[in-house]
Chains A and B, each alone.
Chain A
């Protein structure tokens, strides 16, 4: 498995250049777990995530070690897709399909609330208002706002993902 020897964080780093680098490989699993919880608590304190997120972490016990990591990655990709789709609808020439936009909005709101991405869920309410008013400008504004929140969360989740990845690789390795 030649690819496995690569530093798992390398690609992520290209994505978020501002993130700090830390050698989690040298830490013991217990401290990693504690660190992870600390990070999650920090995120919660910053208002980026709510207790759902913690609950999701606790689901890991039953759903396999990589569940939490997968969840984060799937959420980030999913939310990104939704936002992109919405942008696409908004930048489409001619009439804006607000119905379609609305269904995307619901999906985004559903998944962000489920994920516990509190600030994204919150930012979604502006989008809903803009969709109701059929204001293209408002929608774009709200969407950019959501994107801002998304990027913020994305960057902040970096260390969580890093730690979790280390934990996952150890746990799966131990198995």
Chain B
């Protein structure tokens, strides 16, 4: 029977064997609605059946030889059998229930008969019904009958009445029986009908083909617009079946041909190789392949291929399914690209955030510096102004000198703070430039004058303003003066001999030579050179020269001091005003700082009072036009003694300016005692010499400018033991000096090792108290140099160490060893051993006390 079904099925529904297995086992992958009510669902849908192209012969082979095909058929048949068995079971059940009903009817009938047996015996014994069903039952009835006959005894009297009654009864029962028999008849008919029905039911083949057709219809319905290609290829990868909704080739073009034979282009070979691979490996696989063919252009397919095995387990072909995913792939690629872009964007954003963060941090740091500077400035100006007030009280000469020390250092700090504030102002863009009329010649002259006033060296200061420089121009005179002063003070700081000067001349507009804006006030570009014959700047230091807190070198910073802000500020200011600051320098020969700035030319003002730079209105008409200024060193003489402040009026708050002017204009009647006192008592200079050296730490040589008076004073004090204190800390100097005075000694003070060596060269000391840690040359080195001289009688070592010795002073080798006592702050680097190793005789720990000083003096002074 199975075989019959198979063959029948094969003829009719060839396609079905290729559809997925378990075709209608409820609940599995392939669920088809049971044929029934909505049978005509497909009537509304037109199903195009053309696309499928089948090689039937191959299909036969497949179903015969491949396990899967066979199995699928078996499944179908099994399913059919199951359903038929079910139907039989149902019919049987129905039959059973009918039999039961019949039995019940029989039983009832029997009962009735038994009740009226005697009647039947009397009148109608032949009427005894015969059961059509059960022999047993009739036997039972037959046996019971005689027994009853014996029991029944009826009195004869009542016989007639009874007869009537029973006749009636008998008629009614007869009717009942008839009805019962009728029902039986109907049931029998129904049963017959049912059996006939059963026989009439459709054959399994029909039903199966029906089911399959439905499945086919559903599949077509589902697939009719799906962009899928379904196919089967044999083991040579020749097409045996293909379903393609959008066929571009006829059957004859596909069946029996391989991919490569059908169409060409990129991806074709790949897909064929992929199928081959699947066959070889025997495992299903998925792959995305992009085709680029003439046939259908550029399309990407997601291909699923699974191998088909024969009953023997050999691979006999491949099933494949392809879905066009071109759009999806494009989208996916787009997404990937977008994601990538997003990642890049994000990375950039992070980077940017970092930068912003850093910028903010640095802004905050700058702000902090500015705030800090500001915070420091107020108490500092308190200290300085108090010192100013103190200087106006009645003080003796030394006190005045002390006060000057205080003032100058206070001014230095103030200058630094102002520098920092200036810088942060320029950087934050808060600084505003003012446009005022001023006379370049006067500015140059005043700047030079100021510099000359505070100069402590024998330098020639000169200024040269070219004739073509206008008499009056418009610009921010304060800033320009600041730049000039800064550059000039730099120049003088690093120049030890020769000259320092300013040149001013008109140059052409560096950017545009055409005079477009001649309608407005004409603009003139003035170049300013500040040149010196100083130590110059090494080439490698030039790039960092204009950076904040940078100095040409660590040595420079140590030797010359300074904040390292000056040039940075100059550059920023010049750039703020639209100009440029450059430098050219030859090491050991000098440097030239050049800045070019644009100024508006002002027509000569009639009223000199309008000029902003008229603090010193001593300019006559001649002065206005003369552009050459020279300040020779000898002209510094009188200034030198009473002017030691390094301050410049520019950088100080107004309250100090009065004082500065006071010093500048000593002969004026309005000036106060300060200058008169100093200048009237000549020997004051000598007495305060030592303190002056302390203050100027390392900036000049203590005996460079020694006046004859000084030597005289020193000569007078020769009788006492001569003690030299080498110490750079003002406070220590003050304390030790005071203690020594209390002990009855006067001491000379110098502030670094180099000065100590020079002092020893020009004087003989009985005791030297030497601080260990000092700028320029420290205590240890100074001791070594002094010891070297004591042993050899020559200062060669000192000269080698870079100290400019006084050639005029020649000393005999004294042979005497000057006791040198070190003063240490108890730091590790200043251990006693080190002091001894460098030729020191003893050491005193700081803080120095009366006790330790006394011991020291007792030990080393005769």
Interface residues of A (CB under 8 A from B): 1, 3-4, 6, 8, 11-16, 52, 55-56, 59, 61-64, 66-67, 69-71, 73-78, 80-81, 84, 88, 91-93, 97, 100, 102-103, 105-107, 109-111, 113-116, 128, 132, 154, 165, 168-169, 172-173, 175
Contact = CB atoms under 8 A, between A and B. Distances in A.
B249 interface: no
A114 B732 CA distance: 6
B696 to A, nearest CB: 15
A173 B392 CA distance: 12
Contacts of A66: 390, 395, 399, 402
Contact of B382 (A15, A61, A75, A175): A15
Contact of B731 (A61, A62, A71, A97): A71
B672 A1 contact: yes
Contacts of A3: 388-389, 392
Interface string B710-751: 000000000000000000111110110111011000000000
A128 B773 CA distance: 14
Interface string B765-786: 0000001111100000000000
A89 B389 CA distance: 33
A169 B416 CA distance: 32
Contacts of B416: 84
Interface in B766-820: 771-775
Interface of B: 369, 376, 378-383, 385-390, 392-396, 398-399, 402-403, 405-406, 409-410, 412-413, 416, 547-550, 554, 558, 563, 672-673, 728-732, 734-735, 737-739, 741-742, 771-775, 823, 825-830, 846-850
B554 A100 contact: yes
A144 B253 CA distance: 92
A11 B399 contact: no
Nearest to A58: B742
Contacts of B390: 8, 66, 69, 73, 165
A8 B391 CA distance: 11
Q: For B387, B389, B392, B774, which residue has the most chain A Cβ atoms within 10 angstroms?
A: B389
A145 B639 CA distance: 43
B409 A67 contact: no
Contacts of A105: 827
Query: Interface of chain B, helix or strand or loop or mixed?
Result: helix
B827 A106 contact: yes
Contacts of B398: 64
B848 to A, nearest CB: 7
A62 B413 contact: no
B727 to A, nearest CB: 8
B825 to A, nearest CB: 4
A113 B825 contact: yes
A13 B379 CA distance: 9
Contacts of A132: 828
A129 to B, nearest CB: 11
B850 A114 contact: no
B848 A76 contact: no
A106 B549 contact: no
A107 B382 contact: no
Contact of B376 (A84, A91, A114): A84
A45 to B, nearest CB: 20
B392 A77 contact: no
A67 B734 contact: yes
Nearest to A131: B827
B378 A77 contact: no
A16 B381 CA distance: 12
A159 to B, nearest CB: 14
Contacts of A103: 773-775
B394 A175 contact: yes
A78 B829 contact: no
A59 B383 contact: no
A54 to B, nearest CB: 12
Given A67-B734, A74-B731, A168 B383 contact: no
B554 A114 contact: no
A78 B730 contact: yes
Given A84-B416, A106-B773, 6 more contacts: A11-B383, A14-B382, A64-B399, A84-B413, A106-B825, A111-B731
A100 B554 CA distance: 9
A114 B389 contact: no
Contacts of A154: 379
B742 A63 contact: yes
Contacts of B393: 4, 168-169, 172
Contact of B847 (A52, A62, A80): A52
